[in-house]
Amino acid sequence: MNEQFDVIVVGGGPSGNAAAYTLAKGGLRVLQLERGEYPGSKNVQGAILYADALARIIPDFRDDAPLERHLIEQRVWILDDTSYVGSSYRSADFNKPPFNRYTIIRAQFDKWFSRKVQEAGALVICETTVTDLVRDGDRVVGVQTDRAGGSIYANAVILADGVNSQLAQRAGFRPEIAPREVALAVKEIHFLPEETIQSRFNVTGDEGVVIEMAGKITQGMVGTGFLYTNKESIAIGVGCLLSDFSRQKTTPYALLDHMKRHPAIAPLLAGGEMKEYTAHLIPEGGYHAIPQVFGEGWLMVGDAGMFVNGVHREGSNLAMTTGYLAAETLLELRAERKVFSARNLARYRAKLDGSFVMRDLRKYKNLPRIVEKNPQFFTAYPELMNKAAHTLISVDGIDKKAKERAVRKHFVSARSRLGLLGDIFKLWRAFE
């Protein structure tokens, strides 16, 4: 295939699809390459879909996108070995369309998104791994694939090839990721009858619940767990910094199995049939880990550019937004009859800086480092909070003043007065 395209998009995830869709809609000749058998077959997520990011690209996506449940309740659990303290927010207002967040099954959702890309006019070719960029001096002019037929050329290449972005690394656009900059998450999907899920989570119809978890389930490592309700299945997973797995010598599957046995979690999964086990790396380096995301004839979007807001567990919406903004940049330049040079593509970075993507990442720029160096937020505090709840809630003939003293003593002996103050300061620094 010695054809020339306006743009080649490498990868069929949310960022690549958002870019390819927008470009094709804008009238450019787009080729999208995906290494999986079908779009979605290589992609892993929890998965929550944030409607806003997609609605800005495909406003009527709700008409035919495969969505599981719209979320009406979010629970946050801080777990000890046998207990949890938590909070939840549930609102009937989340039942008013248009719904804000949905659970999705990525293999199905990505297939749908890819169909939209094709309907918009892009050429999508699956089962094709892009092995390298083709360069003319500094300029990226195309890609090389593992199919016979050699190179394919384009005026710009969008790297949407995910967290492992082989292309970016080989080209020297991005250094190898450090183990403390990514979380390794493992997940299982358990199938249960729809009615069982509805009664277990106190929902009707397509209402859904998410539970975000932290504490003893990560066994001292920096990380979080989650449980999401789909229509007829439950996704359960846990992710921790890769550097912590290595240091602590805990295997990811043992960690997940241990979490599933927690007395608060096991009953929610009981009787389910596990049908798939997946793993995925999540960029956690935040603002400081974002590489140079544009150059001569190329742009980087989604996980390849490390665009993940770890604090709020947002990634796919950043992926779609960065894909969209990259496409918008190319469309504008084309309309102005300007070339896709690094100088002109700098507009993409300016768009990112002006959007929620970089604003949010900048807000939490100190957080990854603080969290990594202060594991007490994932170890000592969950234990203290659960102990405090247990002390205060048990009725056992001890007076309330004495109980409060006991709770205070636990906190001070675990962290010291200065330590407690320091931790408050660190939290403020992380979230300021």
Partner 1 sequence: MTRVDEKLFQNRYRVDASRAHVKITDPDVCRVACKTSPCMVCCPAACYTREGDGRITLITDGCLECGTCRIICTEHRNIEWTYPRGGYGILFKFG
Instruction: State CA 131 to chain mean position distance.
Output: 25
Out of 279, 339, 342, 420, the residue judged to bind partner 1 by CB under 8 A: 279
In whole angstroms, how close is the CB of 79 to partner 1 at the nearest point?
Answer: 21
Question: Which residues in the 151-170 window bind partner 1 by CB under 8 A?
Answer: 163-164, 166
74 is a site residue for partner 1 (CB under 8 A): no
**Least distance to partner 1 from the beta carbon of 41, Å?**
5
- Which residue do the tokens 């929550």 mark? 48
Q: Contacts with partner 1: how many residues (CB under 8 A)?
A: 54
Q: Does 252 help bind partner 1 (rule: CB under 8 A)? A: yes
Q: Which amino acid is at 122?
A: A
Minimum distance from CB of 258 to partner 1 (Å)?
A: 11
Single out the residue of 69, 101, 280, 387 in contact with partner 1 (rule: CB under 8 A).
Answer: 280
Q: Cβ 272 to partner 1, closest distance in Å?
A: 12
Residue in the block written with tokens 């006991």: 406
257 near partner 1 (CB under 8 A): yes
Identify the three-state secondary structure at position 91.
coil
Give the residue with the Cβ less far from partner 1, 281 or 301: 281
- Residue with structure tokens 């992609």? 43
Q: Which of 150, 179, 205, 263 binds partner 1 (CB under 8 A)?
A: 179
In 230-383 the beta strands, taken as DSSP E runs, fall at 233-241, 273-283, 294-295, 298-300
DSSP-derived secondary structure letter, 432: -
Contacting residue, 254, 335, 346, 412, with partner 1 by CB under 8 A: 254
CB of 52 or CB of 276, closer to partner 1: 276
CA angle 215, 256, 284 (to 5 degrees): 65
Q: Least CB distance from residue 24 to partner 1, whole Å?
A: 22
Q: Does 291 bind partner 1 (CB under 8 A)?
A: no
Q: How many CB atoms lie within 10 A of CB 85?
A: 18
Instruction: Map 169-221 to HEC letters.
Output: HHHCCCCCCCHHHEEEEEEEEEECCHHHHHHHHCCCCCEEEEEEEEEHHHCCC
146 forms part of the interface with partner 1 (CB under 8 A): yes
Please tell me whether residue 103 adopts helix, strand or coil conformation: strand
Among positions 209-248, residues that touch partner 1 (CB under 8 A) are: 233, 242, 245-246
Q: What single-letter DSSP state applies at residue 100?
A: S
- Which residues from 88-117 bind partner 1, rule CB under 8 A? 105-108, 110
Q: What is the DSSP string of 263-290?
A: TTTHHHHTT-EEEEEEEEEEE--GGGG-
Task: Return residues touching partner 1 (CB under 8 A).
Answer: 35-37, 40-45, 47, 105-108, 110, 126-129, 131, 145-147, 163-164, 166, 176-179, 182, 184, 186, 188-189, 233, 242, 245-246, 249-254, 257, 274-281
